[in-house]
Amino acid sequence: MEMEKLLEDSVPCIIVWFGQNGVVPPILIALPRGIGEVIDEDVVHARVPFIARTQQRFAVKAGIDGMLYVAKRTYCNTSEAIHKLTNTYLEDFSLPNPKLPFNNRQGFYFSILQKDVHGKLPSKFIQVFNNPREQSFTTEEINEVRDNLAKFITSDLLIFFLLFLIMNLILRFLH
């Protein structure tokens, strides 16, 4: 799993730094084992960016942290909001066979094959990009929900790992 590999690679660097300064806290030695205890091995890493991000959100086993559960739920609600907006646009504007791809740079956007485009898109749709094969575009609402989703993507794992480290440091000082 990509996230676990990244963490495993970073932990030795931290341990080396502490070692060079004469101190290696036991918590840092135990961290790789602790990561293995909370990462769900059944979650596979996907190549499709949105699916990969979703899987990363759920890579941490259930019941580990309440704050992480709230972040996961918010992430799900936000991604559901994007799909609800999509359905609204489909009904309101009768878009011909639209796709709703996701990439890490743009987030969500609509894509329609050029052969299905007849006339100009309504002004609601912005950031229109034409290429020979398809027309891509988004809306202010999709961008707003995408930005909210990006906030949760970066904050949920950060919250979890900070809480994980803090809890382990507290346990260390209690023993």
Class of residue 91 by CB neighbours under 10 A (exposed 0-12, middle 13-18, buried 19+) = exposed
Asked if residue 36 is part of any domain, the answer here is no
pLDDT number for residue 34: 62
The number of domains in the chain is 1
Full residue range of the structural domain in which residue 133 is found: 64-174
Structure tokens at 131: 């290429």
Q: Residue 129 pLDDT > 70, yes or no?
A: yes
C-alpha to C-alpha distance for 128 and 130, rounded to whole angstroms:
7
pLDDT number for residue 77: 83
C-alpha to C-alpha distance for 168 and 140, rounded to whole angstroms:
43
Asked if residue 97 is part of any domain, the answer here is yes
Asked if residue 101 is part of any domain, the answer here is yes
pLDDT band at 82 (very low <50, low <70, confident <90, very high): confident
Nearest to 157 by CA among 73, 80, 67, 76: 67
C-alpha to C-alpha distance for 57 and 17, rounded to whole angstroms:
29
Nearest to 37 by CA among 156, 170, 167, 175: 167
C-alpha to C-alpha distance for 81 and 84, rounded to whole angstroms:
5
pLDDT number for residue 167: 66
Comparing 31 with 112, the larger pLDDT belongs to: 112
Q: Angle between the 2-20 and 26-38 helix axes, to the nearest 10 degrees?
A: 170
Comparing 101 with 66, the larger pLDDT belongs to: 101
pLDDT band at 117 (very low <50, low <70, confident <90, very high): confident
Q: What angle do CA 172, 162, 18 make, to 5 degrees?
A: 60
Is the backbone of residue 119 left (phi > 0), alpha (psi -120 to 50) or beta?
A: left
Least confident range of 15-19, 58-62, 104-108, 112-116: 15-19
Asked if residue 54 is part of any domain, the answer here is no
Q: Model pTM greater than 0.75?
A: no
149: CATH:
1.10.1420.10
pLDDT number for residue 70: 74
pLDDT number for residue 140: 92
Structure tokens at 112: 């329609």
pLDDT number for residue 157: 58
Nearest to 75 by CA among 156, 139, 164: 156
Q: Which amino acid is at 11?
A: V
Comparing 162 with 132, the larger pLDDT belongs to: 132
